[in-house]
Amino acid sequence: MTDSPDDGDRDWFGTGEPTEASGIVGEYMTLRRGAEADVLAMQMGDFYEFFGEDAELVGEELDLKVSQRSSGGESYSMAGVPVDDLAPYLKALVERGYRVAVADQHPVDDGHERRVDRVVTPGTLLDPTGDDAQYLATLVRDGDTVGLAFLDVTTGRFHATAISGPDAEARALTECYRFAPTEVLPGPDARTDEALVERLRERSDARLTLHDAEAFAPGRARHILGEQFGDGATESVGLDTDAAVRAAGAALGYVAETGAGALASVSRLRTYVPDDHVALDATTQRNLELTEPMTGNGRSLFAVLDHTETSAGRRLLREWLGRPRRDRAELERRQGAVAALAADAMARDAVRETLDGTYDLERLASRTASGSAGPDALLRVRETLAALPALVETVEGSPRLADSAVADRFADLDREGARKVREELAAALTDDPPNSLTAGGLVRPEYDDDLAELVGRHDEAAEWIDTLAEREQREHDLTHLSVGRNRTDGYYIQVGKSEADDVPDHYEAIKTLKNSERFVTDELAEREREIMRLEEERGDLEAGVFRELRSWVGERADLLQAVGRAFAELDTLCSLAEHAVRNDWTRPELTDDDVLDLRAARHPVVEQSVEFVPNDLQLDRDRRFLLVTGPNMSGKSTYMRQAALVTLLAQVGSFVPAREARVGLVDGVYTRVGALDELAGGRSTFMVEMQELSNILHNATEDSLVVLDEVGRGTATHDGISIAWAATEWLSSAQATAPSPKVLFATHYHELTMLADHIDTVENVHVAADEQDGDVTFLRTVRDGAADRSYGIHVAELAGVPDPVVERSREVLRRLRDEEAIDVRGSEDEVTGESKQVVFDLGSGQFRGQASADGGEGETVDPVTESVLEELQGVDVEDTSPVELLSQVQEWQRRLDD
């Protein structure tokens, strides 16, 4: 037998049998196919081996040594890890998205057999590395209803829902994005829909697993749900559609089939209504940088806001930010708690300090229930539960907290049950247990009568040995005598060289050292055997007691999860309070009125790094659509995002960065950034921009908030203006075909600002900039009205561009606007002295040559062109609506084309 993974001649069977490599590879492939795994780890004696492509893959991913073998003329790759080291490799592979099967070797009558006992997948890993939730998602389509279930085996969280209606699929995908699952199982009718599968792939990094279609059958799903939660459970939690039942059942069935014991922690299923959440699609989440920054050096809202003390708190804060709510009662409950925690700094500090010493109880509960928790995990459960009375005391000791939702949250917990678990653990486990279950010293002797007796006998034997040296010294008159123990010699009596010849006859010499001699006696050997026997018995007994204790605690997983959840919530609320206090945020008034009224509001992330100039913002029934103009870099994007972020923060239950805020609850926030402004790169084509715009035009309701940042910029000027124009009309209900959401629209298409004169609900605001001592200053102050449109030329002047150039720019600009002919200076004809003239053609977005005024040489004008030109010159631009203008230009173009 060898113990080095590099050694070529492994005894694969642990039995000394000869190996048959090609047969082995065949067996490997068969097992691998049967398990539908990406990778198979197959036990062969003391190693788990990978063959062929799998070996190459683990070699690459995990830096394992790959060797080449050949057998019967065929060559193949092979890599392996010692049996005891598999766990970390397995985890690393699964966290990279692979589905890994493990085939263990089992003894049978005539040798051994191998079978796949467990499959570890990205959605069912019990002890992932990070703190993030790890959801397994199932998605079932049933007519026009989509059933969804999300299960996190690491915490036992399990949610299911059904979405129906014409846009059910889009909403389901949004839900999927929100939960950010690590693995998705599309049901039989979802997976055949290539477009759907494609969109699932696009929207997440999740692994798509095509699980057995049978598992999605309603009967089977209902059965497994009944087994897990009891008969009638589906009705009692309100799972009333087949689609939701099928999704939930399939998720459970899948976890059961992977064989990792992860189901034990799933004690409750919650149904939820997605409509209770603010619609927040993937692009919006990304644009607003809620949990991830768009660029490497940016900071997400989450990163700025996070002052949590625990990993469960961090997980929950992230979850809250990703799913703002519409339920005013719940939000006000959270606000009340944040307010109380913000007001009582002493209590808040005490709470945070206590939480700092706690562990992730939700995850510990899962590991306990699945039987994978070791002694240190149960100690952590004990320590964390010990924080409960301390927290209750703090809460009750603070009049503010005692009167808030925080106190209610703790009142709902089964504190008596938690106390029992903690006391049981305290009574059973020693304070510094060994990591091995059988090493002894894990369980307190007084906890178990048999153990107490065993330990008593062990102590007696140990005492006999402890006092042996003294007795022997006295009896045999040997001063240099001691008793010791080591691995090879066991217990021995050691006597110094000078006295070695004086030992009694019954001393049996076993070893000679430089200055001493070692002996044993029959009696000592007898005692040694007894001690060994007792130690072994004790180890077995303690391990048994521990396992029993662990399953007793595991049966209370839902209690532990509830306490863990309450701690996480408290941590999250404290974090929000802490941030509010440090940054002078206020409690927003939440209302069902259709308003967004912010006084002296700031951008929560930008205010961290610059001296921020606060701004007001008002949107209501009559003022629903703000066209935001202003020079580049003046703060348009920041102003609009800050409105979206304040709204979202308010709907998380947080305080907000403003002096005063009144926030009408929205059903969705949609943001889009024009392709040119899109930083994310890669995807930023005009096509994507338009797809996203289309999505908003379809989905935004009158209760939504829409932020459009330079939309339409990714194409030729006049296409862009036209699209932006029409979208504005549509979203402001000027076309009366759709209810109008609240909209903020930043645009550099100045032409749009005139819409404010014609559509009642559209208003212009601009970010002011000013000139002081020859420098351009961005005031960052938002004012009513449109920006000065010749601002760019103004900047050129300030920058010292020569006067004639500035003057000429003004002239060209005026002519461009009025679509007058512009003479091209420097093109003067040598003979006539006339210059060429061009007109900026609104239709094509290009300059077009034009005859000089007197129709001079070289330029003959046909009658059609002449008539068009005449009409063009006759148009009073101020008095013609842009739409009319557009259609007129189209008409001219048609005539010129003919």
Residue numbers of the site for Mg ion (CB under 5 A)? 637
Q: What would the two tokens of residue 478 be?
A: 């040997």
Three-state secondary structure readout of 641-686:
HHHHHHHHHHCCCCCECCCEEEEECCCEEEEEECCCCCCCCCCCCH
Half-sphere exposure of 785 (CA within 13 A, CB side): 6
Stretch that binds ligand ADP, among 155-163, 193-201, 512-520, 629-637 (CB under 6 A): 629-637
What does 610 interact with, of ligand ADP, Mg ion, none (CB < 5 to 8 A by kind)?
ligand ADP
Please report where in the chains the tokens 């004690």 appear, as a residue: 267
Question: Among 137, 141, 111, which Cα is nearest to 122's?
Answer: 137
Candidates 630, 664, 712, 720; binder of ligand ADP (CB under 6 A) is 630
Q: Is 318 in the site for ligand ADP (CB under 6 A)?
A: no
Residue 633 binds ligand ADP, judged by CB under 6 A: yes
Residue sitting closest to ligand ADP (CB): 635
CB of 704 to ligand ADP, least distance (A): 22
Instruction: Name the minimum Å distance from CB 616 to ligand ADP.
Output: 11
State in angstroms the smallest separation of the CB of 304 from ligand ADP. 14
For ligand ADP, give the closer residue by CB, 128 or 674: 674
- The H-or-E segment that residue 896 falls in is helix 882-897
Q: 345-356 and 328-343 helices cross at what angle (nearest 10)?
A: 100
Output the CA angle 616-622-628, nearest 5 degrees.
45
d(CA 755, CA 774) in angstroms, rounded, equals 33
Residue nearest to Mg ion (CB): 637
Among 604, 635, 674, 714, binds ligand ADP (CB under 6 A): 635
Amino acid at position 885, single letter = L
Q: Which residue has the tokens 């148009």?
A: 875
**Cβ 781 to ligand ADP shortest distance, Å:** 8
The nearest distance, CB 286 to Mg ion, in angstroms, is 16
* Residue 656 Cβ vs ligand ADP, minimum distance, rounded to whole Å: 15
Nearer to ligand ADP, 79 or 711 (CB): 711
Query: Residue 780 binds which entry of ligand ADP, Mg ion, none, with Cβ cut-offs from 5 to 8 Å by kind?
Result: ligand ADP
**Residue 628 burial by CB count (10 A; 0-12/13-18/19+): exposed, middle or buried?**
buried
Question: How many residues make contact with ligand ADP (CB under 6 A)?
Answer: 14
| Nearest-approach distance from CB 281 to Mg ion, in angstroms | 20
637 counts as binding ligand ADP under rule CB under 6 A: yes
Q: In this complex, which beta carbon is closest to ligand ADP, that of residue 119 or of residue 782?
A: 782
Q: Give the E-state strand segments of 630-727 in sequence order.
A: 660-664, 668-673, 704-709
By CB under 6 A, is residue 712 in contact with ligand ADP?
Answer: no
Three-state DSSP class for 531?
A: helix
Sole residue written with tokens 């090609």: 22
Residue 181: name its binding partner from Mg ion, ligand ADP, none (Cβ under 5 to 8 Å by kind).
none
Query: Is residue 671 within the footprint of ligand ADP (CB under 6 A)?
Result: no
**Contact flag: residue 518 with ligand ADP (CB under 6 A):** no
Considering the complex, state which of residue 308 and residue 637 has its C-beta at the smaller distance from Mg ion.
637
Among residues 384 and 747, whose Cβ is nearest to ligand ADP?
747
Does 610 contact ligand ADP by CB under 6 A?
Answer: yes
CB of 629 to ligand ADP, least distance (A): 9
Measured between alpha carbons, how far is 828 from 836 in angstroms, rounded to an integer?
Answer: 7
Q: How far is the CB of 892 from ligand ADP (least distance, A)?
A: 35
Between residues 244 and 787, which has the closer beta carbon with respect to ligand ADP?
787
The entry of ligand ADP, Mg ion, none near residue 47 (CB within 5 to 8 angstroms by kind) is none
List strand residue ranges (DSSP E) for 97-203, in order: 100-108, 111-120, 136-142, 145-152, 157-164, 183-186
The two tokens of residue 694 are 């289309």
Sort 245 into a burial class: Cβ within 10 Å, 0-12 / 13-18 / 19+. Answer: buried
Query: Which conformational region is residue 633 in: left (phi greater than 0), alpha (psi within -120 to 50 degrees), or beta?
Result: left
Euclidean distance between CA atoms 374 and 459, whole angstroms:
26
Bridge partners, residue 191, by sequence = none
DSSP symbol at 6: T
Considering the rule CB under 6 A, would residue 613 count as an interface residue with ligand ADP? yes
Q: Which stretch binds ligand ADP (CB under 6 A): 440-448, 524-532, 631-639, 822-830?
A: 631-639
Q: Is 780 in the site for ligand ADP (CB under 6 A)?
A: yes
Per CB under 6 A, the segment of 169-177, 572-580, 611-619, 717-725 that binds ligand ADP is 611-619
Task: Provide the edge-to-edge strand list for the sheet that holds 207-208.
Answer: 207-208, 183-186, 136-142, 145-152, 157-164, 270-271
Give which of Mg ion, ligand ADP, none residue 735 binds (C-beta under 5 to 8 Å, depending on kind): none
For the CB of residue 94, give the shortest distance to ligand ADP in the complex, in Å: 41
| Residue 652 phi, psi (nearest 5) | -95, -20
In the complex, minimum distance from the CB of residue 867 to ligand ADP, in angstroms, rounded to a whole number: 43
Among Mg ion, ligand ADP, none, partner that 363 touches (CB below 5 to 8 angstroms by kind):
none
H helix or E strand, kind and range, residue 468: helix 468-476
For residue 156, the partner it binds in Mg ion, ligand ADP, none, with Cβ less than 5 to 8 A by kind, is: none
Q: Which amino acid is at 15?
A: T
311 interface partner picked from ligand ADP, Mg ion, none, CB below 5 to 8 A per type? none
* 634 sits near ligand ADP (criterion: CB under 6 A): yes
Instruction: Say which amino acid occupies 357.
Output: G
612 binds, among ligand ADP, Mg ion, none (CB under 5 to 8 A by kind): ligand ADP
638 interacts with ligand ADP by CB under 6 A = yes
Q: How far is the CB of 783 from ligand ADP (least distance, A)?
A: 13
Ranges of beta strands (E only) in 34-127 are 39-44, 47-51, 67-71, 74-82, 100-108, 111-120
The distance of closest approach from Cβ of residue 633 to ligand ADP in the complex, given in angstroms and rounded to an integer, is 4
Write phi, then psi, for 880 (nearest 5 degrees). -110, 135
User: With binding defined as CB under 6 A, does residue 606 bind ligand ADP?
Assistant: yes
Angle at 658 between CA 652 and CA 661, to 5 degrees: 65
Near ligand ADP by CB under 6 A, which window of 28-36, 225-233, 329-337, 609-617? 609-617
Q: What is the residue whose two structure tokens read 């009705």?
A: 235
Query: Quick check: 224 and 252 in contact, CB under 8 A?
Result: yes
Q: Taking the complex as a whole, how short is the minimal distance between the CB of residue 640 and Mg ion, in angstroms?
A: 8
Indicate the residue among 635 and 668 with the shorter CB distance to ligand ADP. 635
Q: Which of residues 393-412 bind ligand ADP (CB under 6 A)?
A: none
Supply the DSSP symbol for 277. B
Whether the Cβ atoms of residue 538 and residue 451 lie closer than 8 Å to each other: yes
Complex with Mg ion: residue 161 or 637, whichever CB lies closer:
637
Least Cβ distance, residue 619 to ligand ADP (angstroms): 18
- Mode of pairing for the β-strands spanning 822-823 and 837-841: antiparallel
DSSP 3-state of 797: helix
Is 632 among the residues that bind ligand ADP (CB under 6 A)? yes
Complex with ligand ADP: residue 246 or 713, whichever CB lies closer: 713
Q: Answer with the entry of ligand ADP, Mg ion, none that 635 interacts with (C-beta below 5 to 8 A by kind).
A: ligand ADP
Asked whether position 779 contacts ligand ADP by CB under 6 A, the answer is: no
Tell which residue, 592, 595, 641, has the closest CA to residue 615.
641
Task: Report the largest interatomic distance among the alpha carbons of the chain, rounded to a whole angstrom.
Answer: 140
**How far apart are CB 286 and ligand ADP at their closest, in Å?**
16
Binding partner of residue 712 among Mg ion, ligand ADP, none, CB under 5 to 8 Å per kind? none
CB atoms within 10 A of CB 828: 14
Binding of ligand ADP by 679 (CB under 6 A): no
Nearest CA-CA partner of 636 in 848, 818, 783, 464: 783
Q: What does the binding site for ligand ADP look like in residue numbers (CB under 6 A)?
A: 606, 610, 612-613, 615, 630, 632-638, 780
